[in-house]
Amino acid sequence: MSPVKKIKVRNFHQAKWDEPIIFELGTKGERGILLPEIEGEIEAAVGDGLSKIPKHMIRKQPPRLPEISQMQILKHYLRLSQETLGADLNVDIGQGTCTMKYSPKINEILATSPKLTALHPSQPISTVQGILEIFHKTDLFLREISGLDQFTLQPASGSQAILTMSSIIKAYHEDNGENKQRDEIITTIFSHPSDAAAPAVQGYKIIDIYPNQEGLPDLEALKEAISDRTAGLFITNPEDTGIYNPKIKEFTRMIHEVGGLCGYDQANANGILGIARAKEADFDMCFFNLHKTFSSPHGCGGPSAGALGVKKELIKFLPIPLVGYNGSEYYLDYDVSHTIGKVRSYYGVVSAVLKAYLWIISLGKEGLEEVSRIAVLNNNYLLKKVLEISGTSAPYAEGHHRIEQVRYSWSKLTEETGITTEDITNRMIDFGFHMWSSHHPFIVPQPFTLEPTESYSKAEIDEYIAGLAKVAKEAYTNPEIVKNAPHRSVVHKLITNSLDDPDKWAITWRAYLKKWKNDRI
Amino acid sequence: MIITKKVGLIVNPIAGMGGRVGLKGTDGVEILEQARLLGAQPESHNRALIAIQKLLPIKEKIELITYPEEMGGIIAKKCGFQPTIIGSISKGKTTSEDTQKAAKDLLDLNIHLLLFAGGDGTARDIYDAIESKVVTLGIPTGVKIQSAVFARNPTRAGELALAFLQERTHRVRETEVMDIDEDLFREGIVRAKLYGYLTIPYERAHVQSSKAGSPETESFAHQAIAEEIIENMETDYFYIVGPGTTTRAIMDKLQLVNTLLGIDLIYNKKLIANDLNESKLVHHIQGKKVKLIITPIGGQGYILGRGNQQLSPDIIKKIGKENIVVIATRNKLNSLNGQPLLVDSGDKGVDELLCGYIGIITGYREKSIYKVVC
């Protein structure tokens, strides 16, 4: 019997417009906006705007930008929007690890208010007390949530927050005269890939730990990994499997014993708000992606922010300026003795911080805890239902509940039908759903990762399960329809071969013209 | 009708017959007779059929070329193809010579892909006949499948072949042809040997992600590992370089002649000797400072005892655990599905010495801590 026999999937069909790229549209001389002539009074005050630019910096040819009218440009982007599956459009629980949740629209309105957008980051401090208050209070909220002692909201993404943690580790060991000796960062294979990538960019050697049979980072392997060369540990918990590591304190203890620092990747903290904190697990640092757990829109819907907190011993290394409050006024504090400098211009990503702040104050302490409890409940309901579908499994921790997400496997279905995760991903599109495999490296065979967060209703979760159940049933009864999917999408089949071939890819229009049309300027 | 691709098909009709009747393989005429007497039925046909059925959607665009009767002709027709039949056989009495001859004949016809159905013995025949001169893929139908040239099952073989012929996957990779000594195997002793490498269509471990931006290619991974090894090579140490394509990249980067299947020795980045056996190796390293670079051979994760038996327990003891450097691509580690690496050196003491957790170099300035069991 189907796990959700009464729920029907939608008879979805994506719009297909065959829309050209914007650079292929318009005609020479066409304009969307005609700028007014400069007024004499303004010109007298600021000049013509060009003559102050050094000659060598003025380009010889104007940029080859699209020349197109307003109406055409509006249609262009509306058509493109209809060819995507945005987070506000579909039941986006198939994008596990990404914490796709509802971003309240009132927060968008506030973030696009001229009260915010008309601010200039170089304005005198006395005129920006409001936004500084929001920064300071967000810092205080995050201190409560993590147990740590000070936050910087400057990093513009999770990966940049990891890079900032890596810089702090470097500065810390430099301060202790051990920087040369400590050149290794330890992470786990199920932690976010940036936990390895960011410190590698900075020159650290990376050691990663594979999971044990229970799917937890192998403590015995950690014993082999640590040494007097250990600079630090970057780890996610729960990892992308959704399993919480109950021995996390053992990990931080062992790293501290050899003189390393511990950075907690809490990019996604959606299952543990108000339940488990970085402080109690003895982490020295942690960061939150405000665009994941804290509802600011995600990824390409961005912009993002990686809020990074530290213990008081490490405050002296934080990027400048910090935002402080002296009892009567908010201020920018540049007096940070061992600062690593700036990691981004000005304050950070103001709109993302504002939306996170609004989300936190609208929920309060109890609301935040409820977010996590519902996210975990939704996830475990989903887990039970998914495991009723033929061909699925949830490797590791059998019989235990998971936190906020689960990395599942279609390997049984693949063995029995030849249908792979990629095929199922393509078929789910036919019902208006997205399903994601997982981060590489692929340890779990034929993986897929689901995360329902707290936002989706039971009806929506059931609809998604019905989609999975339908596709799984088709795999056994009519595999060709799955194999040849999608049938109702913009593009029939994506050929991804050239994605990792530098000789073929072109990630900009200019690169395309240069590589494929021999058009060089 | 435009024929765009030529596909060769070789079926070893007797592969797999031993398994159902409790024999360990069908290599050798006597064993085959024994299998037949025990009532063995050909398994190869059914399994090969599953694979080539997957090519039916492009039937009009390929020319399927095969040997007569049970070596391919029967199932190709049964499946609905109109195959080009070449060569001749003695019906019901085919041997490994027929497999080798078929492989050579098909190579002469400039095929794009050679599909063969059989086991490790068949893979070895193909390798002996044509080495890796054409892209090949094994449909697993034999009792023994240790070689990595086989797809996981006949269905996957068919799908991978289809993807390759439709140019949905362009990449190829070299993978091991392993076979065990069947006489020893029937006595219960498992000893695999690395015979060579065949080139097969490349499939990333488990799944091809349509999201991953720039997953590293096998060749890039080899280069990165080689760079790491060379950068950290110590002076006045002898480096024993074991067999495999991962270790070959080190020799290539140093512009040294390499033995893909054998043991090479270098000193201060200069070649001392190629393809050493145990006694010659002992002679060279006696009393010297030595490090050993090895990589897991075959699909099962053996770092010692499969394909590198020249590295005897005595040599391993001399080198010492701290001087053994294990290298492997992430793709290889991940394809183990979380299973530990294995050692089977033939000496319990040596095996136990190597058990536990070791650091595997997986890239430039990257290593993984991985479990080894014996």
Per-residue pLDDT tens for B246-294? 999 999 999 999 988 889 999 999 999 999 988 899 999 999 999 999 9
Identify the band that residue B301 occupies on the pLDDT scale cut at 50, 70 and 90.
Answer: confident
> B53 in a domain, yes or no?
yes
Window 301-330 of B, Cβ < 8 Å to A: 330
Report if residue A98 sits inside a domain: no
Would the pLDDT of A26 be above 80? yes
Q: Which pLDDT does position A87 carry in this prediction?
A: 84
The residue of chain A nearest to residue B363, with distances taken between CA atoms, is: A206
Whether B253 and B355 map to the same domain: the answer is yes
Q: Is A234 on the interface with B (CB under 8 A)?
A: no
How much of chain A, in percent, has pLDDT values that exceed 90?
79
Do B300 and B362 fall within a single domain? yes
Check: CB of residue B34 under 8 Å from CB of residue B51: no
pLDDT in the model for residue B41: 57
| Averaged pLDDT, A89-105 | 92
Residues 169-198 of B with CB under 8 A from A: 169-171
pLDDT at A146: 98
CA distance B350 to chain A (A): 19
* Residue at a domain's end among A306, A329, A361: A361
**pLDDT tens figures, A309-335:** 999 999 999 999 999 999 999 999 999
Which of B168, B210, B370 has the CB atom closest to A425's CB atom? B210
Q: Is the pLDDT of residue A520 over 80?
A: no
Please indicate whether, in this complex, the C-beta atoms of A207 and B368 are within 8 angstroms of each other.
yes
Whether residue B306 has pLDDT greater than 70: yes
B248 and B328, same domain (yes or no):
yes
ipTM: 0.84
Measure the CA–CA gap between B226 and B250, rounded to whole angstroms: 5
Residues A337 and A206 in one domain: yes
Average pLDDT for residues A108-113, to the nearest whole number? 95
pLDDT for position A1: 46
* pLDDT of the residue at B205: 45
For residue A63, is it within any domain? yes
Residues A29 and A77 reside in one and the same domain: yes
pLDDT value for B331 = 83
Determine, yes or no, domain membership for B124.
yes
Would an 8 Å CB–CB cutoff place A31 in contact with chain B? Answer: no
Same structural domain for residues B234 and B102?
Answer: no
> Is position B207 within any domain?
no
From the list B208, B330, B368, the residue facing A496 with the nearest CB is B208
In a domain, residue A105? The reply is no
Residue B208: pLDDT above 50? no
* Same-domain check for residues B139 and B242: no
Residue B213 falls inside a structural domain: no
Residue B307: inside a domain:
yes
Q: Does residue A87 sit within a domain? A: no
Task: Return the pLDDT at B45.
Answer: 84
pLDDT class for B210, splitting at 50, 70, 90?
Answer: very low
Residue B214: list chain A partners with CB under 8 A.
499-500
CATH number (domain holding residue A316): 3.40.640.10
Q: Indicate the residue among B170, B201, B232 that finishes a domain.
A: B201
A390/A424 same-domain check: yes
Check residue B209 and give its pLDDT: 36
Six-digit token pair at A30? 């066409």
pLDDT digit string, tens, across residues A246-299: 999 999 999 999 999 999 999 999 999 999 999 999 999 999 999 999 999 886
For residues A375 and A452, is the Cβ–Cβ distance under 8 A?
A: yes
Using a CB-CB cut-off of 8 Å, the residues of chain B touching A206 are 365-367
Q: What pLDDT band is residue B102 in, cutting at 50, 70 and 90?
A: very high
One domain for residues A156 and A278 = yes
Residues A191 and A294 in one domain: yes
A443 interface with B at CB cutoff 8 Å: yes
- A521 in the same domain as A459: no
Contacts of A422 in chain B (CB under 8 A): 207-210
For the segment A43-95, what is each residue's pLDDT rounded down to a tens digit?
Answer: 898 888 788 889 999 988 888 899 999 999 999 999 999 998 888 889 999 98
- Which of B209, B212, B365 minimises the CB distance to A205? B365
Give the residue on A whose Cα is nearest the Cα of B158.
Answer: A418
Tens digit of pLDDT for each residue in B251-260? 999 999 998 8
CA nearest neighbour of A270 among A413, A372, A127: A372
pLDDT in the model for residue B175: 86
Tell whether B128 and B177 lie within a shared domain: yes
Taking a contact as any Cβ pair under 8 Å apart, which residues of chain A between 481 and 510 contact chain B? 494-497, 499-500
Angle, vertex CA A217, rays to CA A213 and CA A222, nearest 5: 115
Domain-terminating residue out of B201, B235, B253? B201
Q: Decide: helix, strand or coil at residue A349.
A: coil
Contacts of A498 by beta carbon, 8 Å cutoff, 6+ apart: A504, A505
Which of the residues B58, B206, B331, B335 would you substitute to probe the A interface, choosing the one with the greatest number of A C-beta atoms within 10 Å? B206
- In this prediction, residues B171-177 reach a mean pLDDT of 84
CB neighbours of residue B292 within 10 Å:
23
pLDDT one-digit tens code per residue, B19-70: 545 555 556 666 666 666 665 556 788 889 999 999 999 999 999 999 998 9
**Same domain, residue pair A317 and A179:** yes
On whether both A258 and A344 belong to a single domain, the answer is yes
Tell me which chain B residues have a C-beta less than 8 angstroms from the C-beta of A446: 206-207
Are A296 and A405 found together in one domain? Answer: no
Instruction: Read off the DSSP letter of residue A32.
Output: S
User: Residues B119, B262: one domain?
Assistant: no
Nearest to B9 by CA among B149, B161, B155, B196: B161
Q: Choose the final residue of a domain: B143, B169, B201.
A: B201
Residue B169 lies in a domain: yes
In a domain, A203, yes or no: yes
Q: Chain B residues with CB inside 8 Å of A418's CB? A: 155-156, 159
Task: Say if A90 falls within a structural domain.
Answer: no
| Structure confidence by residue, pLDDT tens digits, A113-143 | 999 999 999 999 999 999 999 999 999 999 9
Same domain, A72 and A153: no
Interval B110-125: pLDDT, tens: 999 999 999 888 999 9
Q: Write the pLDDT tens digit of every residue in A357-372.
A: 999 999 999 999 999 9
Rounded average pLDDT over A149-155:
98
Residue B73 falls within a domain, yes or no? yes
Say whether both B195 and B235 belong to one domain.
no
Residue A350 sits in the same domain as residue A399: no
In a mutagenesis test of the A interface, which of B209, B331, B373 is the best target, namely the one with the most A β-carbons within 10 Å? B209
- Considering only CB atoms, B370 lies closest to which of A210, A222, A499, namely A210
What is the average pLDDT score of chain A? 93
Note whether B184 and B227 are same-domain residues: no
- Cβ–Cβ of B356/A224 closer than 8 Å? yes
Q: Are residues A234 and A132 in the same domain?
A: yes
Alpha carbon separation from A379 to A88, A272, A449 (Å, rounded): 20, 13, 11
Which CATH number is B129's domain given? 3.40.50.10330
Contacts of B2 (CB under 8 A, 6+ apart): B61
Name the domain count of chain A. Answer: 4
Query: Higher model confidence: residue B208 or residue A486?
Result: A486
**Total domains present in chain B:** 2
* A97 pLDDT higher than 80: yes
Could you tell me the residue range of the domain that residue A500 belongs to? Answer: 491-521
Range of the domain at B89: 5-201
Partner-chain contact A440 B209, CB within 8 Å: yes
Residue B188 has pLDDT above 90, yes or no: no
Counted across chains A and B, CB pairs separated by less than 8 A come out at 110
Which residues of A fall within a CB distance of 8 Å from B368?
189, 207-210
Domain contains B100: yes
> Of B167, B369, B370, B371, which to mutate for an interface test with A (greatest number of A Cβ within 10 Å)?
B369
